[in-house]
Structure 1
């Protein structure tokens, strides 16, 4: 480190456990300040903050290459305003993501309140504020632009819901479809204005268009609302299976070297030669970008699956009013929830795995609430006893193996169970949508 003082600048090699007194004594020795009657100086940072004499420099935050000031008097540190402190503060993407998530949840709650408000002034004001926040959030200016752009489509969807909401269950699919296309449009604007690649906006666009198609087509064809909810629950279950495969997208420049025309699976040959043999390398920054990109896509897809399942499952159970359709809806929600829980075990990303588990538990919770409060509540006891019995059997088998779901035997069984739940969910979707009942009525 460099020490500036009365005798000039000295570059010193300081051990990691040295204190400011040790450095000051060494500076005075080499600068011959002690013989001149100057004594040992005091050490301060470049901003004028005095260093504690009993604390090692490594614990005080002093790193290699820092500049210290040796002086005989203590200078007061320069006052830093709140705006300057905010500008100089390091970026914290994790905190920004958490705040963006909280803001999106607040936007959803405000849209629900504005949609049910009787005063049109309150409703119009809330819609205007939400829409303005959505448009400002996609602007690529300021800090944490990626996190703001990820939350902006939620504000657009909330504004559309608050503006178009009307009482009546029959209009709800069209309203949610309009909210989905609004989120997709704002996400497209953010993707167009973004300087780099924005994977979260891609997930928003795909999710918004899917919700719009599943909700708008049945509404235009005059079908029942449970068709839209059935499609959303089933497609969310299938998306958990295919989202990781879509996230792995290797750029062309990583696959093809135009100089050597060497095509490999993950890398191209380096231009450097060692003798007659070339060496195969993988650029660390390219692989890091690929991993971060795939991580954002998988996490965004898992979040979209969570929101869709939590919203569509109660609506499907509520819309199925006929006995045969109600059985299909309950089976679809049950098998979709189990399939999501089993699909989460194959995810290595902690956040995506947690989101998928929350989605599966949300579907099963919606089913449990429907069984308790909905029609046919007398069968709750039977369902409870069967669920507890199956859980006890699974727990006993897991304890007996001693390794739980991490063993190869359990992994194969879980794969079979996931495939079986997906097949049964597809069969239940036909019954839940009313197709099986309609064919039965036509042939009877």
Structure 2
């Protein structure tokens, strides 16, 4: 991985003053512009026959394919144009590889293994009787998480992704065995993970969508579970609310992932106050066209955010669903919890169909299957042997029907007819999940007892 990460060409506009052999030219350029683009625009505006090289105000040469923001140039700075590079008829600069900063399969596997190892270490530490040993384990895990956030080394951006898991494991090793409520322990783990992620985010040289998802998801979990403890509500209220939020997050995550800044959508033919040094300058005033490299960077950013959001949903579901089923012991609450898990799993499975990224779609489908798997385990445990056999036969028959329907329809999910039916099914399942949460939290039973 390179030491710097490309910045989107659609970030804040920069105002530069270019000093060169043909005089001074003030330019307004996008934040993700390269030195080659600025030099080419300076040559065009000043009438030079050659494309100059760019230097910072201190005389440091800026590579032609390097982003100005990576070289430390900010809005309002001065750069120096030095002649010496012949201007060819057709400029074909080397494209920026948007995926160069992306973790590869091995890096992603290593981060996942490190996070799982940290969680396992924290869980094992809860069974240690010695308080001093648990304190040492928690200190080692926390120190490892803090050191992992340091922006040192070529793999710093990969390593920092697993750092919050070490913070959460440290809190689990220290707080878990002390007899606190499960909601309080989860709140402490989530809050520690959010703090470690915030430290890593503060030291990151550029934007990091994975750490942002860590901060938001951990803060929401800490807020919900913490308020449950402070208000002395039953623990199932927090788990039901987290499951509902995860269901809604599966639908809302793509909205944030595909958010495109307005500066990437401005039609410069209608603007008379500024021009841009982006690719393909044509027309009387100049037409702003977003370069292909910027689009790749934007897509990569949305991919990271979508994948991280799906992983966060899977973790929340894996924690909240078993705890919800365990804490819902009263008949009415138990029925509501089972219905909530059933409809939440269905909503997630339906929402996954709209995801085009394979990893995010697989994670979201796994979250839905976790809901149904836990529900099936609970139902089978409470059923009689005859009922268990009936449930197994019904599940196998339903699976064969689904396989036959999938083979028959082929790519039918992508047709308009199937898409509309799936959209309706997703909305219905989500609505039923929210309605079942009223019963799962005990609110329906409380109102019933008050009126009876």
TM-score bracket for the superposition, by shorter chain length: 0.7 to 0.9
What is the aligned partner in structure 2 of residue 304 from structure 1? 312
- Tell me if the contact between 1:347 and 1:353 (Cα under 8 Å) persists in the aligned partners: yes
What is the aligned partner in structure 1 of residue 177 from structure 2? 166
Unaligned stretches of 5+ in structure 2?
1-100
- Tell me if the contact between 1:268 and 1:282 (Cα under 8 Å) persists in the aligned partners: no
Unaligned stretches of 5+ in structure 1?
1-89
- Tell me if the contact between 1:111 and 1:159 (Cα under 8 Å) persists in the aligned partners: yes
Q: After TM superposition, list the pairs within 5 Å mapping 1:58-207 onto structure 2.
A: 93-166=104-177, 171-207=181-217
The normalised TM-score by structure 2 is 0.72
Greater Rg over alpha carbons, structure: 1
CA distance in 1, matches of 2:441, 2:119: 28
Pick closer, same or farther for the CA change 1:385–1:253 going to 2, 3 Å: same
Measure how far apart 1:408 and its partner are: 2.9
CA distance in 1, matches of 2:383, 2:230: 30
Structure 2 counterpart SS, 1:161: helix
Structure 2 counterpart SS, 1:116: coil
Pick closer, same or farther for the CA change 1:272–1:95 going to 2, 3 Å: closer
Pick closer, same or farther for the CA change 1:387–1:296 going to 2, 3 Å: same
What is the aligned partner in structure 1 of residue 259 from structure 2? 249
What is the aligned partner in structure 1 of residue 239 from structure 2? 229
Measure how far apart 1:375 and its partner are: 7.1
- Tell me if the contact between 1:371 and 1:377 (Cα under 8 Å) persists in the aligned partners: no
- Tell me if the contact between 2:314 and 2:366 (Cα under 8 Å) persists in the aligned partners: yes
The more displaced of 398-407 and 415-424 is: 398-407
Pick closer, same or farther for the CA change 1:376–1:181 going to 2, 3 Å: farther
Measure how far apart 1:117 and its partner are: 1.0
What is the aligned partner in structure 1 of residue 432 from structure 2? 424
Equivalent of 2:358 in 335, 350, 356 = 350
- Tell me if the contact between 1:260 and 1:269 (Cα under 8 Å) persists in the aligned partners: no
Measure how far apart 1:414 and its partner are: 1.4
For this pair of structures, how many residues does the alignment match?
351
Pick closer, same or farther for the CA change 1:400–1:152 going to 2, 3 Å: closer
What is the aligned partner in structure 1 of residue 376 from structure 2? 368
Measure how far apart 1:96 and its partner are: 2.1
What is the aligned partner in structure 2 of residue 56 from structure 1? none
Measure how far apart 1:351 and its partner are: 0.6
What is the aligned partner in structure 1 of residue 336 from structure 2? 328
Bigger relative contact order (CA 8 A; separation at least 6)? 2
Measure how far apart 1:101 and its partner are: 1.0
Pick closer, same or farther for the CA change 1:401–1:154 going to 2, 3 Å: closer
CA RMSD of aligned residues (A): 2.7
What is the aligned partner in structure 1 of residue 303 from structure 2? 295
Pick closer, same or farther for the CA change 1:403–1:290 going to 2, 3 Å: closer
Pick closer, same or farther for the CA change 1:377–1:203 going to 2, 3 Å: farther
Task: Tell me whether 1:415 sits opposite 2:423 in the alignment.
Answer: yes
